[in-house]
């Protein structure tokens, strides 16, 4: 958040990267942690994902773009985190665009998060059937289509 505020106005978090293919903005050490500074990439991958080993964390992480899951209005807390992750995941997946195909099949248009972090999700279809809209749990066949990621700034204008 501080990175956005310090560089506002801008159209996309990607505008702050010197190399848009590497997203250097996420690689810069900025976050104080036990006497050192971590990058946002370190926080996401070496701290959060490494500690939780839970694909639902992807719906709690926000990179300031419209393609990201929305921010919660409350902090994540140890004794409530399981319910918070459950709620956040269901909210993000509730509005998937589902195309019906023949023989009770569907095409689910999903975030690139499911492509980029495929290994975290394991059985992506099973995950989507569990947390997504009811149409996925009753479909005989589910095909995934990864939507383009919207990197424009998640800004209130």
Q: What residue spans define the domains of the chain?
A: 2-146
Tens of pLDDT, residue by residue over 38-97, are 999 999 999 999 999 999 999 999 888 999 998 899 999 999 999 999 999 999 999 999
Tens of pLDDT, residue by residue over 110-130, are 999 999 999 999 999 999 999
pLDDT the model gives residue 55: 98
Please report which confidence band the pLDDT of residue 5 belongs to, taking 50, 70 and 90 as the band edges. Answer: confident
- Using the predicted structure, report yes or no on whether residue 101 has a pLDDT greater than 70: yes
pLDDT the model gives residue 12: 87
**Secondary structure, 3-state, the chain:** CHHHHHHCCCCEHHHHCCCCCCCHHHCCEEEEECCEEEEHHHHHHHHHHHHHCCHHHHHCCCCCECCCCCCCCCCCCCCCHHHHHHHHHHHHHCCCEEEECCCCEEEEEECCHHHHCHHHHCCHHHHHHHHCCHHHHHCCEEEEEECCCCCEECCCC
């Amino acid at each position: 958040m501080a990175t956005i505020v310090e560089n506002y106005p801008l159209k996309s978090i990607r505008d702050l990267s010197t190399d848009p293919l590497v997203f250097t903005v996420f690689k810069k050490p900025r976050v104080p942690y036990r006497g050192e500074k971590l990058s946002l990439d370190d926080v996401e991958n070496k701290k959060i994902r490494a500690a939780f080993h839970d694909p639902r964390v992807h719906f709690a992480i926000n990179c300031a773009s419209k393609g990201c899951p929305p921010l919660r209005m409350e902090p994540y807390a140890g004794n409530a985190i399981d319910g918070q992750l459950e709620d956040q995941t269901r909210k993000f997946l509730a509005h998937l665009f589902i195309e019906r195909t023949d023989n009770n099949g569907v095409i689910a248009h999903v975030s690139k998060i499911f492509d980029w972090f495929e290994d975290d999700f394991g059985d992506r279809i099973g995950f989507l059937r569990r947390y997504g809209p009811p149409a996925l749990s009753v479909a005989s066949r589910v095909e995934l289509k990864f939507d383009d990621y919207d990197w424009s700034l998640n800004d209130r204008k």
